[in-house]
Amino acid sequence: MAIHHSASESKHKVVLQPSGRSGMVPEGITLLEAARRLGVGIEAICGGRESCNKCMVRVEEGMFPQYDLHSLASHLSPPGERELAFRRRGILPSGYRFSCTARVRGDVLVTVPEESRAQKQVVLKQASGRAIVVDPIVRLHYLELEPTRAGDRADRQRLLCELERRFGLSGVEFDYLALRELSETLHKADGAVTLTVWDQRLVIRVQPGYHEQPLGLAVDVGSTTLAAYLCDLRTGELLATATDMNPQVTYGDDIMSRISYANEVASGRDRLHGAVIRAINQLARNATRQVGLRVRDIVDMTMVGNSVMHHLALNLHPRSLGVAPFIPVVEDALDLKASAIGLRFHPGARLHVLPLEAGFVGADNVGVILSEQPHRQDEVMLVIDVGTNGELLLGNRERLLCTSSPTGPALEGAQITHGMRAAPGAIERIRIDPETLDVRFKVIGEERWSDELPPGKIQARGICGSGIIEAVVELFAAGVITASGRFARGLDTPHLIESDGLKAFVLVDATQSATGSPIVASQRDVRNIQLAKASLLVAAQLLMQEWGVDAVDRIVLAGAFGNVIDPAYALALGMIPPCPLDKITSAGNAAGDGACIALLNRAMRLEAAGVARWVEHVDQPLADEFQSLFMAALSFPPIPEAIYATRRK
């Protein structure tokens, strides 16, 4: 492209800030077109109809010797009627122009504000705070058709011609239901309609008049927890989050029991499928209701989940995932209509299901990769997605390994005597004085610790995953339990009671409990936590062995639960391999973040497809080898210094 100053009268220099891109463009083209030619995408839903108010740019006045040009607003064509109306209403500030109608008449310097860029940057609000470029696969286009005359082509064809003329989209098709909307809409709307176009090739919705907020939903289908993120697909903004239990837990706690249910019970698979779809529909209603929007405006969804959750959500039989060699029905990414699996958004809404990796390592882990990007790093990173089915990644840009671990739900507070979900009233932090064995704790929803408040002020309802982990570590550090996990013999303290024939330690007495009964950690609870943490540790060790490393550079704890666990306690529990404490971070629900990333950026869907086939799956070893690794992983490591530090808090 010629970007030198030219003497030709028919060309002018255009400089775009903040990118600094510049070049010569022909007299009379719009700033929108000039920016496109210089490689800067400006958003324009209405394609030059002066309706959408999205393409405004600031025109800089004065001399700009550094750019060798003298920019004046008069170097642009004057504003038209509609543009002036926007200015009078105060929507278009002084000094700004619609780039879709301002035509280049001389040299100009314009600034393209972030909100006018076709590909905006947004920062995901979750823990990681990573920035992504908003470039969704669904875009809105506003069109106005002239009244029909004899010899005109059909409505559909006229819209497609206009779509090509104004937005350069060719070869676009209509979804059948969009055709029906068209036949109902065009007449009422006097020819002014907003088309929702998927992948620049399929019209999935026709709305009367002007619209600018397509909604998208990213859904993480966990074995125990469902999470849905409602996004504005134009701005990339996270509008609302909704989470709930996966109702499939009624039919079995973990993935193997769900497979059995699907195999053995008549229409068991349909029931599992129906339950999770109803729950996702409910999450969508909750999320849209929070912000006063309509489920019907959701036009795109992405979904992640482990292989079994993936199959059940799609109503594919998980039978072959339950027996070696664990071959799924489909592993590649899928694009389908959301309605095909019973989701009740807009009837034309699309669904993108991220690809599976292998075995039980599913689309949720692909989401984690999108979010954590281990394949783009030099450091050898271990990512542990802590969930009922734990999934682990190890590697860097050279090689990436994955495996899964049947952790079970104990680390999420299930299968624990007084376990509960991470909800208000749940104990999430706990400290035990090694001298007195007195217990201090903190519950979700209250900033202060129990000893900072009058006795009985806190009513604890139960203990969540991070709470029980800290409790087990503290019991070990205080000598109440041994390195093998047994309650120490001969300990004489009123905290120790007998409960259902098992020894149990009273964490919270009846006066501070919402149920009126003490909240305890029993011998069985300690055992369940040991089994779960050993399962994760063995999986990490297997990956390290396969990769050929003794230690990792960095550990990321992912999963909704990984977000709240204190890295020092994870280390003290022996749930993760040794690593400097400052190299252990939490990534929040990285799988959910990955689903959001794929929702907001179409290219990331391709990246997901590529990396899913590149990552190598490491199988669990044969029973004997596994057994000995597992036995060793059950016990607790020596208490790290960090724990003493945290207890002095």
Q: Which residues of this protein are in contact with its own copies, per CB under 8 A?
A: 148-157, 174, 176-177, 179-180, 182-184, 186-187, 311, 314-317, 319-320, 324-325, 327-332, 334, 336-337, 340-341, 356, 619
Q: How far is the CB of 543 from its own copies (least distance, A)?
A: 18
Please name every residue paired with 110 in a beta bridge, in sequence order, or none if there are none: 16, 59
Q: How far is the CB of 448 from its own copies (least distance, A)?
A: 52
Residue type, 528: N
Helices 363-372 and 590-600: crossing angle in degrees, nearest 10, is 80
β pairing state of 192-198 and 138-144: antiparallel
CA distances from 259 to 184, 250, 303, 602 (A): 45, 13, 20, 33
Q: Which secondary-structure segment (H or E) carries 159? A: helix 155-167
Q: How far is the CB of 352 from its own copies (least distance, A)?
A: 13
Q: Is residue 55 within 8 Å of 92, Cβ to Cβ?
A: no
Q: How far is the CB of 187 from its own copies (least distance, A)?
A: 6
Q: Which residues 6+ apart lie within 8 Å of 191 measured at CB?
A: 144, 145, 146, 147
Q: Which residues 6+ apart lie within 8 Å of 450 measured at CB?
A: 439, 440, 441, 442, 443, 458, 512
- C-beta of 115 vs 619, nearer to its own copies: 619
Angstrom distance (rounded) from CA 432 to CA 514: 21
Residue type, 367: G
Residue 367 CA, distance from chain mean position = 7
Closest C-alpha to 559, from 224, 320, 253, 326:
224
The total of other beta-carbon atoms located within 10 Å of residue 27's CB is: 13
Q: How far is the CB of 333 from its own copies (least distance, A)?
A: 12
Q: Is residue 390 within 8 Å of 384, Cβ to Cβ?
A: yes
Both structure tokens of 547: 């990769």
- C-beta of 320 vs 415, nearer to its own copies: 320
Cα torsion angle, 358, 361, 362, 364, sign = negative
Q: How far is the CB of 304 from its own copies (least distance, A)?
A: 17
- C-beta of 164 vs 332, nearer to its own copies: 332
Q: Is residue 13 within 8 Å of 22, Cβ to Cβ?
A: yes
Q: How far is the CB of 161 from its own copies (least distance, A)?
A: 12
Angstrom distance (rounded) from CA 142 to CA 206: 10
- C-beta of 239 vs 542, nearer to its own copies: 542
- C-beta of 24 vs 356, nearer to its own copies: 356
Q: How far is the CB of 179 from its own copies (least distance, A)?
A: 6
Helix (H, G, I), strand (E, B) or coil at 337: strand
Q: How far is the CB of 308 from its own copies (least distance, A)?
A: 13
Q: How far is the CB of 148 from its own copies (least distance, A)?
A: 5
Angstrom distance (rounded) from CA 15 to CA 69: 9
- C-beta of 25 vs 301, nearer to its own copies: 301
Q: How far is the CB of 321 from its own copies (least distance, A)?
A: 10
Angstrom distance (rounded) from CA 239 to CA 183: 32
- C-beta of 184 vs 433, nearer to its own copies: 184
- C-beta of 182 vs 227, nearer to its own copies: 182
- C-beta of 151 vs 454, nearer to its own copies: 151
Q: How far is the CB of 50 from its own copies (least distance, A)?
A: 27
Angstrom distance (rounded) from CA 406 to CA 414: 14
- C-beta of 269 vs 421, nearer to its own copies: 269
User: What is the per-residue DSSP string for 379-403?
Assistant: S-EEEEE-SSSEEEEEE-SS-EEEE
- C-beta of 319 vs 397, nearer to its own copies: 319
- C-beta of 44 vs 160, nearer to its own copies: 160
